[in-house]
Amino acid sequence: MKLIPCPICGERAEIEFTYGGQAGLTRPADPAATTEAEWGAFLYARENPKGMHRERWRHIHGCGQFFNLTRDTVTDRFIP
């Protein structure tokens, strides 16, 4: 089982967390002004790196907080 570093609670078991997807996505300020391709990219296009991936997690069965961390998708190591 992976141990995930919660910034508040410290390292806790993976099953206490839910995954929130890629971090750092910004919703277009004016969706009506975007092209279909731009809106589609915002909704669906995600990185799929072999290596460092910036992602969102929530300690849902713990302190409840959302936070960002970096995970190495090759080794599953977390870097807070």
Partner 1 sequence: MPDALLPLGLLQRRGPLDNAAPIPGVSIAPPLRRVSLHSDLSFYAGIALPRTPLRAVVSDNTAILWLGPEEWLVLAPERDPVTYGYGSVVDVSHRQIGLEITGPNAATLLNAACPLDLALTAFPVGACTRTVFAKAQIVLWRRAEHRFHIDVARSFAAYVHAMLREAAMEFSATV
Q: Does 59 bind Zn ion (CB under 5 A)?
A: yes
Q: Which residues within the stretch 61-80 sit at the binding site for partner 1 (CB under 8 A)? A: 61-65
Contact between 9 and partner 1 by CB under 8 A: the answer reads yes
CB 73, CB 50: distance < 8 Å: yes
Distance between CA atoms of 17 and 68, rounded to whole angstroms? Answer: 12
Q: Which helix (H) or strand (E) holds 10?
A: strand 10-13
Identity of the residue, 43 or 65, whose beta carbon is nearer to partner 1 in the bound complex: 65
Interface positions, 13-52, toward partner 1 (CB under 8 A): 13, 15-16
Any contact of residue 63 with Zn ion (CB under 5 A)? yes
Which structure tokens are listed for 61?
Answer: 């069965």
Amino acid at 8: I
Q: Does 12 bind partner 1 (CB under 8 A)?
A: yes
